């Protein structure tokens, strides 16, 4: 039976059933904020509710339940999560109204989209319920849609909200944990790479590992050689476990785990390569006599992708410095000026004539990417030639010319999101509509999320519409 005595060595008590997914979320939050919880496991809700000492404090007997040292009581896991995340000085709940609302949005998303799906798809695998084909098909459809939304959001965002881990990241990681451990296979990790990288980042934080240990992937579907969207092997496993006693169920799970040990080890090794969240500085050595509207648009697009503090425009004169947008950092100095403190050996020069292509492993040895920009002209003018003579390590982004903002996007995806160059979708020489019957072809390569539509700098299309005669120059 649980008791109501709070010892001085703890900040509060958390009453929960063993292996509760809601309780593990609360433990992660408490660990993040260095709140020392005493975890009290109860046999069942009846055991908790019938305890005389807790009838007044928790009359409904709902679990998990929290009691602080000063006698403050809370039930309902979302309320407890919000309270633990609200420790003075913590930023888990956000720092402004918009962040707080976005955190609440993604937290509710985790509850609504994944908790019920978890019950439908995973509980039969554990022998807790009987599989239902109709429910599983609908659950898989909903799961794929939710994962696509998440993956798209995480393509350009390291975390769910802002530039730091928040309550939303912790809650969603906990909600997805069992899917990653038991359901998703290589077909999934190939389809949802950004989501997989984000999950590995959160799951490998010390305060999370203290609760869940090292994440091991049982990868049931891969063992059964079924495609990701197929539910037949889930149903088969549910039937195999149905009617088994606890010992038999545990034996089946243990045997399944042993079969996948080699695959798990391989995946864990791969996961370690994507945990480097190092930020790079993207340097554009300005080579224009002035700063045109087109140049401004591209510079601002770079900021959108890598952030103000990670972009530096060098070699600027008075006119350029005066006309740079306020959220772009510029300097009079050249890239190797001692005042900037940049070591040449830490710089990669993006050079169309380089022998090697840029790859994710380059992130281990370099801190800066240098662009001789604006790079693109038609025909190519080889503006990088001046920088090439300085002896930088050189890499290229394939055989086709890119505008500088697109080169920054490609580099960001390779070095910080860990895409291989050949995995990035693109469009060559896109046709941009400038009127009802007029188009402009831009003879460069552009990043594309879907392989069909180029990701253009905001304002570029409008600029093209306003200019009747122009020279292609980026």
Which pLDDT score, from 0 to 100, does residue 394 have? Answer: 93
Q: Is the pLDDT of residue 101 over 80?
A: yes
Q: Is residue 377 very low, low, confident or very high in pLDDT (cuts 50, 70, 90)?
A: very low
Q: Is the pLDDT of residue 117 over 90?
A: no
Return the axis-axis angle of helices 21-32 and 167-182, rounded to nearest 10°.
Answer: 130
Least trusted range by pLDDT, from 53-62, 180-189, 384-393, 454-463: 53-62
Bridge partners (DSSP) listed for residue 427: 446
Query: Under 8 Å CB-to-CB from 213, ≥6 apart: which residues?
Result: none
Higher pLDDT, 326 or 411: 411
Q: Is the pLDDT of residue 173 over 90?
A: yes
Q: Is residue 376 very low, low, confident or very high in pLDDT (cuts 50, 70, 90)?
A: very low
Higher pLDDT, 163 or 59: 163
User: pTM of whole model > 0.95?
Assistant: no
Q: Is the pLDDT of residue 128 over 80?
A: no
How far out from the chain centre does Cα 4 lie?
Answer: 41
Higher pLDDT, 159 or 470: 159
Q: Is residue 133 very low, low, confident or very high in pLDDT (cuts 50, 70, 90)?
A: confident
Domains of the chain by start residue, with CATH: 12-85 (3.40.30.10), 97-272 (1.20.1050.10), 281-466 (3.40.1280)
Which pLDDT score, from 0 to 100, does residue 129 have? Answer: 67
Q: Is residue 347 very low, low, confident or very high in pLDDT (cuts 50, 70, 90)?
A: very high
Least trusted range by pLDDT, from 24-33, 127-136, 233-242, 309-318: 233-242
Strands (E) located in 19-95: 37-41, 65-68, 73-75
Closest CA to 371 of 90, 362, 354, 96: 354
Q: What's the angle, vertex CA 16, arms to CA 10 and CA 18, rounded to 5?
A: 110
Read off φ and ψ for residue 190, nearest 5 degrees.
-75, -35
Q: Looking at residues 146-156, what average pLDDT do you find?
A: 92
Q: How many whole angstroms separate alpha carbon 386 and alpha carbon 371?
A: 11
- Cβ atoms of 28 and 37 within 8 Å: the answer is no
Which pLDDT score, from 0 to 100, does residue 167 have? Answer: 94
């Amino acid at each position: 039976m649980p008791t109501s005595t709070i010892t001085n060595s703890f900040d509060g008590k958390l009453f929960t059933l063993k292996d509760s997914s809601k309780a593990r979320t609360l433990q992660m939050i408490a660990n993040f904020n260095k709140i020392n919880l005493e975890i009290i496991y109860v046999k069942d809700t009846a055991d908790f509710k019938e305890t005389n000492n807790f009838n007044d404090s928790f009359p409904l007997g709902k679990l998990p339940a929290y009691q602080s040292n000063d006698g403050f009581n809370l039930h309902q896991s979302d309320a407890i999560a919000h309270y633990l995340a609200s420790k003075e000085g913590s930023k888990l709940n956000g720092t402004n109204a918009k962040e707080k609302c976005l955190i609440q949005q993604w937290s509710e998303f985790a509850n609504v989209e994944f908790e019920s799906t978890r019950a439908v798809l995973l509980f039969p695998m554990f022998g807790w319920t009987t599989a239902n084909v109709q429910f599983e098909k609908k659950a898989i459809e909903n799961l794929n849609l939710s994962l696509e939304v998440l993956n798209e959001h995480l393509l350009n965002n390291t975390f769910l909200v802002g530039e730091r881990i928040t309550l939303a990241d912790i809650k969603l990681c906990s909600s997805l944990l069992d899917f990653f451990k038991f359901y998703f296979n290589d077909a999934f990790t190939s389809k949802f790479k950004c989501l997989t990288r984000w999950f590995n980042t959160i799951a490998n934080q010390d305060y999370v590992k203290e609760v869940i240990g090292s994440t091991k992937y049982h990868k049931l579907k891969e063992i059964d050689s079924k495609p990701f969207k197929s539910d037949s092997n889930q149903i088969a496993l549910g039937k195999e476990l149905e009617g088994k006693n606890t010992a038999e169920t545990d034996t089946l799970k243990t045997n399944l785990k042993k079969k996948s040990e080699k695959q798990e080890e391989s995946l864990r090794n791969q996961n370690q390569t994507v945990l480097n969240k190092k930020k790079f500085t993207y340097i554009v050595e300005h080579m224009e006599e002035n700063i045109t509207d087109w140049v401004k648009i591209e510079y601002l697009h770079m900021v959108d992708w890598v952030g103000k503090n990670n972009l530096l425009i060098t070699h600027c004169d008075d006119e350029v410095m005066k006309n740079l947008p306020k959220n772009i950092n510029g300097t009079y100095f050249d890239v190797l000026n001692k005042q900037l403190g940049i070591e040449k050996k830490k710089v990669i020069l993006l050079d169309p004539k380089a022998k090697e292509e840029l790859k994710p492993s380059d992130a281990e040895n370099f801190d800066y990417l240098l662009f001789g920009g604006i790079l693109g002209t038609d025909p190519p003018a080889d503006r990088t030639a001046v920088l090439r003579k300085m002896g930088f390590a050189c890499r290229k982004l394939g055989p086709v010319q890119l505008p500088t903002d697109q080169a920054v996007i490609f580099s960001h995806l390779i070095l910080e999101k860990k895409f291989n160059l050949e995995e990035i979708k693109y469009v060559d020489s896109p046709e941009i509509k400038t009127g009802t019957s007029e188009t402009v072809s831009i003879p460069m390569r552009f990043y594309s999320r879907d392989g069909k539509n180029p990701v253009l700098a905001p304002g570029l299309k409008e600029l093209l519409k306003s200019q009747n005669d122009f020279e292609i120059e980026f």
